[in-house]
């Protein structure tokens, strides 16, 4: 039986260089498929065994194994063979696998594939009977390890044995085993392996697939459901380049099913288009034979070369039907769109529709289809934006993989804990304590405002112990889903017309709606140790529900509860709730805390100030992106002095002040990123009318709501914060600092706790358009001042407003409140 019959499958995916990899999202566990916890209690931490197919290289499946080992650093490792060289063993964290008898067979190091017929027997001889939890990482036989009724076996499946199932005929043909005695023997062996594969699926308690595509294959083959946790991709190792050059790139191990020869054939028929091929393998001669003068075949290249070509290429071409496709995600992490075969994992990692596509698909694996797809791409390349590609790729980080996978094991085995993280990677932001208090986080909104972005960071950091309840659906729920959060939505139609600046008592219909929300919230609060309210209306519901469920309620105060922001009735309700049932308040600034204490006479010992934390990674990913290219992609003038304002369009946010400043400083343009959200359409219309009345159409750019805030900020020259009443915190100010742009902000509220005037930014009198204009003129004329403020602002943001210390501070308050109540 030819050794070519056994392909590396998941292990060889994109194994063209010794790359580090980093993640995608996975849907949360459905209640119907909830795992049954172990019933055996031994008084000790559960022992964990990790079983891998074979250890011979460091490729796709081994990158998954590396992250599983990071989740369970004390686990013991088992494998059919272990021939990884000493210099390449860092991903194994110093572990040496316990192996099977195949390890000692003749020529096993180089011809282990030839022993496939013996591998089912070999894996069954591996003894893991002394372990409570068995984790198999399987694309061949690892899932067949024998386990008992008191052991929990979770199998991460890269694919059922693909050469034994739906791809049998393809592999027999590629291995030249379609007829004759060897063909008959190969078919008999594969038949035996299929029977064994189905039978051993019954010993797995929980399947986890690396994509929806593989989950469907698992259901087809084993008749079992599988949760999806996408493989880890080392997003942080790739940098975005927005300026693309006139060539295409493909990168892969050169094996038949990757179809690199088809890509080369297609480009050889398009002599005006240049292709770069990176990778090595059995098909190298076949690829070189088809390559025309416009096709450059580089062979194996180190990571630096791969990264360089991926960043500079106008598109990455991918023709395989892959289970997942790590290289496709890596290309997008570089800001490079993808032209891919529209089957398999690419359908889950590439966005080919909507307003923010990251690539396009072709429907057939042939040269004509690839040629047509390249033509379609070149018909409108501007619709593929580097920032959109990067944003899509960021769904697939190593940290997210660890969070998702560990959560699935911890749900089945609540006593399990994890210490440590991947070698060279930051600590995993998951609560390491199995008995940590459960948190029910509540938010009224479905939109992605500043409060919601801050809650999102808390949910990511405390994910294993937080359930989220929203009172409206929308982009915020989608962001929580993408982060793998356990989120539920209760529609609250009766509250949609309740305004916080309202001065009248709620109507009967509103009260009925409140009663319904209280009832549903109370039911969910019973399973929590503490209720964490993120917004004012959520706080009101939480206090009543918490009182009924006898649960402490913590309000994360993100507003200044003054008459400028809240109506008389709303302030009275806040005051009443503080007396009725608030256990603790987290304020996002000293300004917010001071006004709240004055209004409610709340015990100041039960108020903690925790400044919001902001994730720097979206800004760091664009550190090398050119401002000119960002402007071209967004649609902004290349040479203008651009002043950006980033917030929803609302009168108190003061966008009109920036427009008035343009009448004094004629060299500046204004860029408004944001939309009216809460009944503020009239104000948006006023802004548009002002622009038309004063002939500012060429100098004012309304971009509306955007997801690519980091790109928009780096595209402008100055960030302007123009609120005319006190800002509770000023998240946009910190974001501007992380974007390395000088910030001009209103001297009031929480902003004064962020910006040190003249050092990390400049402060102006709120509402004073002439002072703002003069400050902008000064920044226009003084390049060195802009650079100094941007540099110091970045240092301030990193030192004081990082997401790690923010999440840690919130967690401490929640835990202290629970401990105080016991």
Question: Does 426 reside within a domain?
Answer: no
What are the b/e assignments for 591-630, b being 16+ CB within 10 Å? bbbebbbebbebeeebbbbbbbbbbbebbebbeebebebb
Residue 422: pLDDT over 50 = no
Is the Cβ–Cβ distance between 709 and 674 less than 8 Å? Answer: no
pLDDT at 534: 95
Q: What is the CATH number of the domain that holds 25?
A: 3.40.50
Which tokens sit at 90? 């860092």
pLDDT at 212: 87
Q: Which residue has the higher pLDDT, 163 or 379?
A: 379
CA angle 680, 682, 687 (to 5 degrees): 100
Which tokens sit at 100? 């099977």
Sign of CA dihedral 713, 718, 722, 727: positive
Domain identity same for 65 and 207: yes
Which tokens sit at 80? 């059919």
Last residue of a domain, one of 184, 209, 228: 228
Q: Are strands 718-720 and 743-746 parallel, antiparallel or unpaired?
A: parallel
Question: Does 422 reside within a domain?
Answer: no
Residue-wise pLDDT for 123-162, tens only, equals 999 999 999 999 999 988 999 999 999 999 999 999 888 7
pLDDT at 21: 31
Contacts of residues 593-602 at CB distance under 8 Å and 24 or more positions apart, as own/partner, are 593/557, 595/560, 595/561, 595/562, 596/557, 596/561, 599/561, 599/571, 599/574, 599/575, 600/574, 600/575, 602/578
> For the purposes of burial, counting CB atoms within 10 Å of the CB of 547, is it exposed (0-12), middle (13-18) or buried (19 or more)?
middle
What does the radius of gyration of the chain's CA atoms come to, in whole angstroms?
29
Domain identity same for 497 and 584: yes
Q: How confident is the model at residue 30 (pLDDT cuts 50, 70, 90)?
A: very low
Per the listing, tokens 């801050």 go with 454
Q: What is the average pLDDT value for the chain, to the nearest integer?
A: 86
pLDDT at 356: 87
pLDDT at 496: 53
Domain identity same for 533 and 639: no
Quick one: what percent of the chain has pLDDT higher than 70?
89
pLDDT at 102: 95
Q: Which residues contact 25 (CB under 8 A, 6 or more apart)?
A: 230, 395, 396, 400, 404, 481, 482, 483, 484
Residue 299: pLDDT over 70 = yes
Q: How confident is the model at residue 565 (pLDDT cuts 50, 70, 90)?
A: confident
Residue spans of beta strands (DSSP E) within 302-358: 315-318, 338-341
Beta-carbon-side half-sphere exposure of residue 305 (alpha carbons within 13 Å): 15
Q: What mean pLDDT is predicted for residues 511-535?
A: 90
Other Cβ atoms less than 10 A from the Cβ of 43: the count is 5
Residue 494: pLDDT over 80 = no
Is the Cβ–Cβ distance between 580 and 547 less than 8 Å? Answer: yes
Last residue of a domain, one of 393, 424, 453: 393
Q: How confident is the model at residue 122 (pLDDT cuts 50, 70, 90)?
A: very high
Is the Cβ–Cβ distance between 477 and 470 less than 8 Å? Answer: yes
Report the distance separating Cα 46 and Cα 415, nearest Å.
7
Nearest to 615 by CA among 765, 394, 790: 394
Report the distance separating Cα 128 and Cα 203, nearest Å.
13
Q: Are strands 607-609 and 582-587 parallel, antiparallel or unpaired?
A: parallel
Last residue of a domain, one of 228, 244, 260: 228
Residue 16: pLDDT over 70 = no
Report the distance separating Cα 622 and Cα 569, nearest Å.
45
pLDDT at 678: 67
Q: How far is CA 194 from CA 59, 201, 591, 765, in A?
A: 25, 11, 67, 75
Residue-wise pLDDT for 197-231, tens only, equals 899 999 999 999 998 889 998 999 999 999 999 99
Other Cβ atoms less than 10 A from the Cβ of 812: the count is 12
pLDDT at 510: 65
Domain identity same for 240 and 136: no
pLDDT at 297: 94
Other Cβ atoms less than 10 A from the Cβ of 474: the count is 14
Nearest to 562 by CA among 590, 533, 599, 588: 599
Q: For the chain, first and last CA: distance in Å?
A: 67
Residue 14: pLDDT over 60 = no
Q: What is the CATH number of the domain that holds 702?
A: 3.40.50.2000
Residue 419: pLDDT over 50 = no
Domain identity same for 570 and 449: yes
pLDDT at 539: 94
pLDDT at 749: 92
What's phi and psi for 154, nearest 5 deg?
Answer: -110, 130
Residue-wise pLDDT for 263-287, tens only, equals 999 999 999 999 999 998 888 999 9
Is the Cβ–Cβ distance between 41 and 434 less than 8 Å? Answer: no
Q: How confident is the model at residue 431 (pLDDT cuts 50, 70, 90)?
A: very low
Residues in the chain: 822
Q: How confident is the model at residue 17 (pLDDT cuts 50, 70, 90)?
A: very low
Residue-wise pLDDT for 597-639, tens only, equals 999 999 999 999 999 999 888 888 887 778 988 898 888 999 9
Domain identity same for 659 and 745: yes
Q: Which ranges constitute the DSSP H helices of 380-438?
A: 386-393, 398-412
Q: How confident is the model at residue 399 (pLDDT cuts 50, 70, 90)?
A: confident
Domain identity same for 145 and 160: yes
Q: What mean pLDDT is predicted for residues 324-347?
A: 92
Nearest to 88 by CA among 41, 185, 19: 19
Question: Does 74 reside within a domain?
Answer: yes
pLDDT at 564: 83
Domain identity same for 180 and 32: yes
CA angle 408, 410, 414 (to 5 degrees): 145
Containing domain of residue 89, as a range? 3-228
Residue 348: pLDDT over 50 = yes
Residue-wise pLDDT for 350-376, tens only, equals 999 888 899 999 999 999 999 999 999
Q: Which residue has the higher pLDDT, 416 or 743?
A: 743
pLDDT at 171: 64
Domain identity same for 23 and 172: yes
Residue spans of beta strands (DSSP E) within 190-243: 206-209, 226-228
Residue-wise pLDDT for 80-114, tens only, equals 999 998 878 889 988 999 999 999 999 999 888 78
Question: Does 119 reside within a domain?
Answer: yes
Angle between helices 568-580 and 590-600 (to 10 degrees): 80
Question: Does 638 reside within a domain?
Answer: yes
pLDDT at 427: 40
**What one-character DSSP code corresponds to residue 353?**
S
Report the distance separating Cα 92 and Cα 117, nearest Å.
27
Report the distance separating Cα 182 and Cα 188, nearest Å.
10
CA angle 321, 323, 329 (to 5 degrees): 90
Q: Residue 298 belongs to what H/E stretch?
A: strand 295-299
* DSSP string for 567-606: -HHHHHHHHHHHHHTEEEEEESSHHHHHHHHHHH---GGG
Question: Does 373 reside within a domain?
Answer: yes
Question: Does 490 reside within a domain?
Answer: yes
pLDDT at 423: 36
| pTM of this structure | 0.56
Domain identity same for 120 and 197: yes
What SS3 state is found at 726?
coil
Minimum mean pLDDT range among 233-247, 538-552, 587-601? 233-247
Domain identity same for 22 and 95: yes
* Total number of domains constituting the chain: 4
Domain identity same for 796 and 691: yes
Question: Does 413 reside within a domain?
Answer: no
Which tokens sit at 317? 């071409």
Per the listing, tokens 């959200």 go with 677
Residue 3: pLDDT over 80 = no
């Amino acid at each position: 039986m030819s050794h070519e019959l056994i392909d590396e499958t998941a292990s060889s995916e994109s194994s063209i260089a010794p790359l580090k990899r980093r993640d995608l999202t996975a849907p949360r566990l459905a209640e119907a498929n909830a795992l049954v916890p172990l019933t055996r209690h031994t008084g000790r931490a559960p022992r964990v065994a990790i079983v891998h197919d074979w250890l011979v290289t460091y490729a796709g499946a081994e990158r998954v194994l590396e992250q599983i080992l990071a989740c369970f650093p004390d686990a013991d490792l088992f494998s059919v063979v272990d021939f990884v060289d000493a210099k390449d063993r860092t991903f194994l964290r110093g572990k040496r696998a316990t192996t099977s008898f195949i390890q000692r067979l003749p020529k096993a190091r180089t011809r282990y594939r030839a022993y496939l017929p013996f591998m089912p027997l070999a894996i069954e001889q591996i003894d893991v009977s002394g372990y409570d939890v068995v984790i198999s990482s399987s694309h061949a036989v690892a899932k067949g390890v024998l386990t008992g009724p008191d052991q929990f076996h979770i199998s991460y499946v890269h694919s059922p044995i693909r050469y034994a199932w739906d791809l049998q005929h393809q592999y027999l043909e590629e291995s030249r085993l379609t007829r004759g005695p060897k063909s008959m023997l190969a078919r008999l062996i594969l038949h035996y392996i299929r029977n064994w594969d189905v039978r051993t699926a019954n010993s797995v308690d929980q399947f986890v697939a690396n994509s929806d595509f593989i989950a469907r294959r698992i259901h087809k083959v084993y008749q079992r459901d599988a949760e999806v946790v996408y493989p880890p991709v080392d997003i942080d190792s790739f940098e975005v380049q927005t300026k693309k050059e006139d060539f295409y790139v493909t990168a892969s191990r050169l094996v038949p099913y990757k179809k690199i020869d088809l890509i080369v054939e297609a480009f050889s028929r398009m002599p005006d288009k240049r292709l770069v091929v990176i990778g090595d393998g059995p098909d190298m001669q076949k690829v070189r034979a088809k390559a025309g003068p416009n096709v450059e075949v580089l062979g194996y290249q180190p990571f630096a070369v791969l990264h360089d070509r991926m960043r500079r290429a106008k598109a990455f071409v991918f023709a395989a039907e892959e289970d997942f496709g790590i290289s496709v995600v890596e290309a997008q992490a570089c800001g490079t769109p993808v032209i891919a075969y529209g089957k398999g994992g690419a359908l889950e990692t590439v966005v080919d529709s909507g307003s923010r596509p990251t690539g396009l698909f072709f429907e057939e694996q042939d040269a004509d289809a690839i040629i047509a797809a390249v033509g379609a791409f070149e018909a409108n390349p501007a619709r593929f934006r580097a920032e959109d590609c990067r944003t899509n790729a960021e769904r697939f980080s190593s940290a997210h993989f660890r969070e998702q996978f560990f959560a699935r094991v911890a749900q089945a085995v609540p006593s399990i804990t994890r210490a440590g993280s991947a070698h060279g990677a930051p600590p995993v932001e998951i609560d390491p304590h199995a008995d940590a208090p459960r948190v029910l986080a509540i938010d009224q909104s479905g939109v992605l405002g500043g409060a919601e972005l801050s809650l999102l960071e808390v949910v990511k950091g405390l994910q294993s112990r937080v359930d989220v309840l929203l009172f409206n659906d929308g982009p915020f729920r989608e962001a929580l889903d993408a982060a793998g959060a356990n989120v539920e939505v209760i529609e609250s139609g009766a509250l949609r017309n309740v305004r916080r600046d309202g001065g009248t008592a709620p109507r009967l219909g509103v009260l009925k709606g409140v009663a319904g929300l209280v009832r549903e919230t109370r039911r969910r609060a019973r399973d929590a140790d503490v209720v964490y309210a993120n917004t004012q209306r959520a706080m009101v519901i939480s206090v009543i529900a918490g009182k009924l469920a006898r649960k402490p309620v913590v309000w994360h105060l993100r507003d200044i509860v003054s008459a400028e922001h809240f109506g008389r009735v709303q302030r009275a309700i806040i005051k009443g709730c503080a007396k009725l049932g608030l256990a603790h308040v987290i304020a996002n600034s000293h300004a917010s805390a001071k006004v709240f204490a004055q209004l409610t006479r709340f015990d100041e010992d039960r108020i903690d100030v925790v400044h919001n934390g902001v994730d720097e990674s979206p800004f760091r990913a664009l550190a090398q992106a050119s401002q000119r290219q960002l402007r071209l992609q967004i649609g902004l003038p290349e040479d203008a002095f651009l002043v950006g304002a980033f917030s929803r369009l609302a009168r108190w946010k003061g966008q009109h002040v920036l427009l008035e400043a343009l009448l004094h400083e004629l060299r500046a343009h204004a860029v408004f990123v944001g939309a009216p959200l809460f009944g503020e359409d009239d104000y948006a219309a006023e802004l548009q009318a002002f622009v038309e009345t004063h002939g500012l159409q060429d100098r004012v750019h309304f971009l509306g709501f955007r997801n690519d805030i980091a790109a928009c900020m780096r595209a402008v020259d100055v960030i302007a914060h123009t609120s005319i009443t006190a800002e509770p915190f000023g998240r946009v100010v910190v974001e501007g600092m992380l974007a390395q742009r000088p910030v001009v902000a209103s001297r009031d509220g929480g902003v004064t706790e962020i910006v040190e005037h003249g050092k990390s930014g400049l402060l102006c009198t709120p509402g004073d358009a002439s002072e703002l204009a003069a400050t902008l003129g000064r920044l226009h004329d003084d390049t060195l001042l802009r650079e100094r403020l941007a540099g110091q602002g970045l240092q301030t943001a990193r030192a004081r407003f990082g997401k790690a210390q923010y999440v840690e501070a919130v967690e401490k308050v929640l835990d202290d409140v629970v401990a105080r109540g016991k």
